[in-house]
Amino acid sequence: MEIFGSTFDDSVFSEPRERVCESLSSYNAKLCEPEWFCESTALNTDDSLEKQKVFKFRGDLALRQGNYQRALDAYSSCLQWIADNNLTIRRDVLEGMARCYTRLGQREQALELAELLNKDAANTCHLTSLLLLKVSIYQHFGSVGSQMSCLQQLCSLLPFNPWHWFSLGQTYLKLLDNDPNTVASEAVNGEAEENQEGAVELTEDRVWLRACICFIRTRLLLRILRQQQSSFVLQRGEKALQITQEVLQRLNPKETTIQALIEVMSGDLIPEKMREDYQDGESLSSVCLQSFRERWWNRVLLTGVLQTDGPPVKP
- φ/ψ of 40, rounded to 5, equals -65, -25
- The model's pLDDT over 286-312, given as tens digits with 9 standing for 90+, comes to 566 667 888 888 888 888 777 666 666
User: Would you state the pLDDT for residue 196?
Assistant: 47
315 CB contacts (<8 Å, ≥6 apart)?
A: none
Return the CATH architecture of domain 41-120: Alpha Horseshoe (1.25)
Q: How many CB atoms lie within 10 A of CB 183?
A: 22
User: Would you state the pLDDT for residue 189?
Assistant: 44
Q: Which of 146, 140, 206, 200 is nearest to 176 (CA)?
A: 206
pTM for this structure? 0.80
What is the sign of the dihedral through the CA atoms of 157, 160, 135 and 191? Answer: positive
Report which residue type is found at 6: S
Please check the confidence at residue 259 and state whether its pLDDT lies above 80.
Answer: yes
User: Would you state the pLDDT for residue 261?
Assistant: 93
Domain ranges of the chain: 41-120, 123-315
Q: Which of 34, 72, 39 is nearest to 54 (CA)?
A: 39
Please check the confidence at residue 267 and state whether its pLDDT lies above 70.
Answer: yes
Please state, in angstroms and rounded to a whole number, the distance separating the CA atoms of residues 257 and 211: 13
pLDDT band, very low/low/confident/very high, at 193 (cuts 50, 70, 90): very low
Comparing 205 with 29, the larger pLDDT belongs to 205
Please check the confidence at residue 12 and state whether its pLDDT lies above 90.
Answer: no
User: Would you state the pLDDT for residue 42?
Assistant: 82
Average per-residue pLDDT in the chain?
Answer: 82
User: Would you state the pLDDT for residue 35?
Assistant: 84
